[in-house]
Each structure stands twice: as structure tokens, then as C-alpha cells.
Amino acid sequence: MLKVELSIIFHRSRSCIAIRFPYSFELKEYVKNYTGTYWSNSKRCFYLYYSEIVEKEFTAYLSKGGYSIDNKKVTENISVVRKGISGKFELPKLTSEKAEIHKKYVWYLEGMRYSKSTVSVYSNFILEFLRFHATRPMAELQENDVRTYIEWAVKELNYSISTHRQLISGFKHFAYFYPMCKIDPEKLRRPKKDQKLPTVLSMEEVLCLLQVTKNLKHKTIIAMLYSCGLRIGELIDLELNCFDFNRKQLHIKRAKGRKDRYTVIADSIFPLLRQYFSAYGPKVYLIESLNGGKYSASSIRSFLKQNCTLAEIKKPVTPHTLRHSYATHLLENGTGLRYIQELLGHSKPETTMIYTHVSTKDLGDVRSPLDIALMQKRLPDNSDKKLLISRLNLRDID
């Protein structure tokens, strides 16, 4: 029986569970299929972001697969040793009282039917907070304690704004769950979101990416992500019974926010799908791993990065970039924002409006005042030749 060794490492400013084992293709695929597993080139191992819940669920997952587990090194470092900007520090273990409250908070989140990922993230924040204030009684915890923890976490762990916003959400839920503390959820404020515009590929770049992708399964994945505007999780969860080829519709089930939606299957993808079905014969999911389970998100990100290099695309491209490109190209080709919102599954129209900022449809009609000035300016000999800025002596213009 193959043995998997788990240990605590510090990676990307957070404590993680390192996953190491003797090479086995089947075991590698099994580990990759676990939600939240990542590969680190620097550490040369798979890893998970640490929380006691994640460790418990992952060890159960390995046991279910028939693998032996060595987690002594995790047990020895259960206090979560981390290295911050100020050097090495250690957060103490929870008291039995706080451990019981934390466990019930996890049950509360699960009862609210949040995803495993959300439960893990929120509970990990609260676990860290309770350890940070290990000597402070639960009944005395208040907003100032939250503030001091956040200041520490942002400085020492380099939390991004999006992580900071998630952290506040976790605290709001905790305050509602445990009203005996003095934390007022209405006084907790989220930082404003970064107003970043999405990266978008041109249609030519998308076609070039498909052209350089020789692997049939990989090409099908890229084509589905772009032609249907899918999130990577939606593609991985896509079952064969979601396809309605007669109506040319794809049923996306239990997407973000537990919402279903329909999107359109492109006519041009039908020949590719026929080739794919004939070659791979999927049984349950559209994209399956070799052992028949769900395909790995990390594998998709990996081959997409490699193929973008082959296509000489210099932009930072992720699977979500193809979804952004899908929405932007729909807008540029005249599809209304309301339809795009439905196709993408956005709850708010404001989310879809971001694509108006990256669309070149209307921007292409805007003329720079420099172009207008050069058109109006005539050469000294009054000829009708087009004036080029390279020929223009700017000192001649008053």
C-alpha cells in the first residue's frame, strides 16, 4: 500500500499541508482531483492551504482511496508555525472551550449550505483569530480585537484585498453565530474592491490558441470554456446529461450561488465534440480523468499556460480569461448586456457592466484629438499628402 506523507510548510504567506508520496500516476491523479489541491514548483510537491478541517477531510479522502497516511509531522506542528515579516512566530493551540465553539461554527456554516471551500476559508480565519487572542475570554471579544487581528494578518501574512473582504465576511457570520461575544457585525467594514479590468484575448488569439493545441481533450476544454463562457469549476462538473444537442443548449447546474442556467452550444464545436466522444468515450462527465473521475483544475491551468507560450500570447492567461473574452466578444458583436448577464449567470447587472470598459466596439469609433489635428493640418506646400507625425516639426506649431 502506498504511503502519503503530510507535513506543514509555509508557502505563499500561509501555512499549508505538503503532500508527498512515491511516484504513482494513479495516486497523483487521485490527489489532483481533490478540490483545493495545488502544485508548487518551488516546493516540488502538492499542497493544500492548512486548516484542521481540511486536514481531517483530506485524510478521510486518502483513506477512502485505500492509501496509507503518515501525518506525524502535521500533529507535531498543530500549533501552525508560520514565518512572517517580523520573523518566526507561533500561534498557540485553542483552549477546549474555544475549540468547541469553533467546531460548532463549522457546523453553522455547513448548516447554511455553504460550499466546502467557503466553510474551509471562513473557519480557518476564525481559527486563526481565536488563536491570536488565545488569552482573551470569548465574552470579551469585540471589534477592536478584530481590528488588531486584521492589522496583524494584513501586515504579516500579506493578505490581498479580496482575502481581506472574505475575512470580514467570515467575521460577520461568526458574530451572528455567537452573539455572546461583543463583536457588532454592523461595525465591520469591508475594504473597497480593486477596480481591475479583466484580461481579454482577441478573437485571433483565441483561434491561434486552439490551432496550436494538438491534444484533442485539451482543445475540447479550451473550446468549451470560450464558446460557452464557462467557469473552470462548471466545466469540471459538467455531466453528459447537461447537453441538449437538439436545442443546441447546455444546462449549467449548481453553478456559483447554487444557480442553474442555460447557455448556447456553438455550431462550430459540434464536429470537435463528435471527435472527442469517439476518441475518449466519457461515461459520466464531459471531461474525465484516466480513472474516470473528475478532471483536475490544476491540469487545465498547466496545459493552458504551455499552449499560450506556443501561441506566443504574452498576456497573463487563466481559464477565466476565456470566459472574459467570451463576454467581451459577445458585447462587441451586438449582444445586449441583459442576455450576456443571463448567459454568464451574473446575479447583478453591475458585474456584467465591466465588459463595457474592455470592449473595443465603441472605443474604436473614438478619434484621438491628435489624429484630428493632423488631419486638419496641411503641409507647407498645400499638398493633399497625409501628414505623418514623424515628418512634423513640433516647433512649427504655435
Q: Which of 122, 159, 226, 355 is catalytic?
A: 355
Query: Cα Rg for the chain, rounded, in angstroms?
Result: 26
* Whole-angstrom distance, CA of residue 168 vs CA of residue 107: 19
Measure the CA–CA gap between 307 and 213, rounded to whole angstroms.
Answer: 6
- Catalytic residue list contains 295: no
Active site annotation includes 193: no
Q: State how far the Cα of 364 lies from the Cα of 65, in Å rounded to an integer.
A: 55
Report the alpha-carbon distance of residue 121 to residue 21 in Å, rounded.
26
Q: Is 256 a catalytic residue?
A: yes
Would residue 67 show up in a list of annotated catalytic residues for this protein?
no
Q: CA–CA separation, 16 vs 18, rounded Å?
A: 6
* Residue 274 is a catalytic residue: no
Catalytic residue, from 28, 231, 251, 253: name it: 231
* Sheet with 3-11, side-by-side order of all strands: 38-40, 45-49, 14-20, 3-11, 68-70
Catalytic residue among 323, 324, 326, 329: 323
Q: How far apart are CA 132 and CA 146, in angstroms?
A: 10
Contact between 31 and 46 (Cβ < 8 Å)? yes
Respond yes or no: is residue 395 known to be catalytic: no
Of 298, 286, 289, 231, the closest CA to residue 263 belongs to: 231
* Catalytic entry in 217, 256, 261, 301: 256
Cα-based distances in Å from 285 to 62, 290, 381: 22, 12, 71
Active site residues: 231, 256, 320, 323, 346, 355
